[in-house]
Amino acid sequence: SNRTEHLSILKNTADGGYLIAGNYADSASNGCVLIKYNANLTLEWRQLHPNSVTTLTSLLSIKQTADGGFIYTGELANVASMV
């Protein structure tokens, strides 16, 4: 399937690397994409976080946590249908 990605956030990470984040969509799903590079610009990992209930229309912010992980926030569509 054809996946489109809109990468809108670039952050420096505590280890000197970079995190690129944004949204993706394809014929089967949509959600957030997170891509981690080390300081030498070698890809370390790439993760897709599909939406399960609503559509994340935009990734607004991402922060590195004290334990080295990441937390992100975004804007949801269809919020009125959430219970």
Other Cβ atoms less than 10 A from the Cβ of 44: the count is 13
- Write the pLDDT tens digit of every residue in 20-40: 988 888 887 788 888 999 999
Looking at residue 83, what is its pLDDT?
47
pTM: 0.77
